[in-house]
Amino acid sequence: MSPEGERCSFNPDARPRVRDLADAKPQGKGRFWEEAGLTLCLCCILLSPATARESLPQAGSGDVPKLLRTAQDALSKNDFVTAADALKQVVAAQPTLTVAWFDLAYAYTGLRKHEEAVAAYRKALELDPNLFEARLNLGILLMQLNDPRGALEHLEKAAALKPDHVRAQLYYGRALALTGQPERAEKQYQTVLRLDPKLAIAQYDLGQLYLQQKRYQEALGSFQRALGLDPALSQAQLGMALALEGLKDGVNAVAHFEQYLAAHPDDLETRFHLARLYLEQGKNAQAYDGLQAVYRAKPDTPGLAAALGDVCALLKEFSESEKYYRQALLAAPADPDLHRALGQTLLEEAKLTEAEGEFRMALKSNPRSREAGQGLATSLYLQKRYPEAIPLLEVLARTPDPPPILIFALASSYDNLHVLQKALENYERFLQLSKGQSPDHEWQATQRIKLLRHQLQK
């Protein structure tokens, strides 16, 4: 791939997630164009030596012109090793030769010797502070090295040197966005779009900026325009999905997540996110399929085993649910919610003693957990340990809006211990609360009420 000109190629590696911006949880990441999988390959985007050519002064040594020709021939063939070797000899012989420093920086970039490239560009700029190509290339390189603050100065100067240069203006906008200057970044992106209204990536970057600010409607519009300008820009589908999610339009968000994943099936993080969205919408089978795809590829993904435990429980695959919850607890042995969830699954499997232990573990870490308390009371009740269950059930019965079935369990516990008045009172309360929710239990309660009233009247 020749480095000549200003061509670009896409590199999807190591990109931060665009979702972090949508959730306002950047996790220390924020390289906007990288989030789109559009990290620009430096050897291709950097202005090539041919564009920064200047008239060569008379060489102080007869070897310098020959070395320069060797370097230029090597650069034209992407032979960066030969070019760098020749150019190092040139700058040693003539350290004030600006173009040699520029070309050396370009060669170092091709060799991915980024620190050396930065130093060589800085040297070129010491010799010629207004060398536009060096300003732009150094700014881009510093952005690639995750130093937007260091890049900002150079990109600002590059943009000032050539106000009509689209790429310089675009990267200046990105540097402004990454250094926490959203208002200036927005104006800069608008400047870029005035220069080139059909530049899809500028619309995409603007959408990312709006997404970070939770301006979801504006973000949606920018992503739609980006996709209209470049239908191959599938990352705009992801941006649209996140904007729609921010607008609480989960149904349409799912459709765009699915379209994005059709183009990027290996994006496990987005697939995991979509599975959670499926769960929220009650699409449990789709959620399971998505989570299994992530599990097959990366089983140690944080939160994945717990999510699989949840969805298996919803699908009533309780043995699988138990397996995944136990796996999740290996990574987070003190997590009270995992212990509670495992306890609930064990209840469904009629493993009452084990369930009791899990609920007690959950309450040890979170004594105020109503769900864990209810689980423990249920496990004790089902084990017919009524004297132990009743105090827990009484506490839960006094909480706001207790589940009617809990009141039935309390009544039944008193009934089994022959505490007739308490049993009667709680059966009556159960009927007042249930109102057709549990027909079988309501029938049982009605029959017990008749019998208890008769017994108490004796």
Output the pLDDT for position 1. 35
Q: What are the residue ranges spanned by the domains of the chain?
A: 402-458
C-alpha–C-alpha distance, residues 43 and 121, integer Å: 14
State how far the alpha carbon of 319 is from the alpha carbons of 325, 356, 360, 371, 377, in Å. 10, 17, 21, 21, 22
pLDDT tens for the chain, 458 residues: list them: 333 233 222 222 222 222 222 222 222 222 223 333 333 334 444 666 544 544 344 444 558 999 999 999 999 999 999 999 999 999 999 999 999 999 999 999 999 999 999 999 999 999 999 999 999 999 999 999 999 999 999 999 999 999 999 999 999 999 999 999 999 999 999 999 999 999 999 999 999 999 999 999 999 999 999 999 999 999 999 999 999 999 999 999 999 999 999 999 999 999 999 999 999 999 999 999 999 999 999 999 999 999 999 999 999 999 999 999 999 999 999 999 999 999 999 999 999 999 999 999 999 999 999 999 999 999 999 999 999 999 999 999 999 999 999 999 999 999 999 999 999 999 999 999 999 999 999 999 999 999 999 999 87
Which tokens in the block code for residue 45? 């985007």
457, HSE (Cβ side, Cα atoms, 13 Å): 6
Predicted local confidence at residue 49, as pLDDT = 59
Q: Helices 336-348 and 352-365, interaxial angle, to 10°?
A: 160
| Closest C-alpha to 165, from 138, 141, 188 | 188
pLDDT at 63: 87
Residue with tokens 């900026």: 209
Which position has the token pair 């919850």? 325
What's the predicted TM-score (pTM) here?
Answer: 0.75
Q: How far is the C-alpha of 309 from the C-alpha of 54, rounded, in Å?
A: 66
Write out 191-242 in H/E/C secondary structure: HHHHHCCCCHHHHHHHHHHHHHCCCHHHHHHHHHHHHHHCCCCCHHHHHHHH
* Helical (H) or strand (E) element with 376: helix 370-382
